[in-house]
Amino acid sequence: MPGNMVSKGEVFVIDTDAACREELSNALRQSAYDVICFADGASLLSEAKARIPACVLLEMPPDRSALEVLRRLREENCMAPVLVTSANGNIAMAVDAIKSGAADFIEKPFRTHDIVGRINAAIDESAQPTSRRQRWLPGCEPLTAREGDVLALLAAGLTNKEVARRMHLSARTVEGYRASILKKAGARNVTDLLRRIYGQGSPSQV
């Protein structure tokens, strides 16, 4: 981090690619973050008990062990936003990551400056008051703030890619949120979902 900048907090990073770790670390430090890299999830979990990261960037290996790390972070009340990256991601993996508490799911290869932007957006989102971070569909399980935002944009007619650009998320993450919304609402597809919404009233904020 440049010496004349005030730190915006620590970002924990797990990535098996040494070159990727170095590139991410340099970009994040230039953006006023302190960066701590870990070789494995156990090391990160141990450090998270003593420090409070502003954000966690967690690589998803083929065995999906990162999901357990993510669950453990939440169980131990580490509420920092977690961005999951994967070189072999798919919609099912993105949905599982989001259900486990991930704020974003990003496929590799990625551009470093995009990651920094998404970390900034995730931290800003997590700073919103809790009372503004849940929305409801009538008769359904509450939506998270991100799900509510995705739903509002889908209802406005935006495509997944357009929603992703507007919210500074990956298209895969938006697909994951959409799948979660449909499941909560018991809808077959977005058209069915919107028919239910406009038949019963729009989602409301607390």
The b-or-e profile of 146-183 (16+ CB within 10 A means b, else e) is bbbbbbebbeeebebeebbeebbbbbbbbbbbbbbbbe
- CATH number, domain of 171, equals 1.10.10.10
Q: Which pLDDT score, from 0 to 100, does residue 152 have?
A: 84
Show the low-confidence residues of the chain (pLDDT under 50).
130-134, 200-206
Instruction: Look at the chain and report how many structural domains it folds into.
Output: 2
How far is it, in rounded angstroms, from Cα 58 to Cα 50?
Answer: 18
Residue 84 falls inside a structural domain:
yes
Do 32 and 6 form a contact (C-beta atoms < 8 A)?
Answer: yes
The overall longest dimension of the chain from CA atoms, in Å, is 57
Structural domain of 47: 10-127
The answer to whether residue 1 sits within a structural domain is no
pLDDT of 31 reads 93
**Do 157 and 102 share a structural domain?**
no
Q: How far apart are CA 87 and CA 201, in angstroms?
A: 40
Please tell me the pTM assigned to this model.
Answer: 0.67
Residues 39 and 117 in one domain: yes
99 with 160, same domain? no
In this structure, are 100 and 24 located in the same domain? Answer: yes
CB of 156 closer than 8 Å to CB of 81: no
Q: Answer whether residue 93 is part of any domain.
A: yes
Q: What is the pLDDT of residue 79?
A: 83
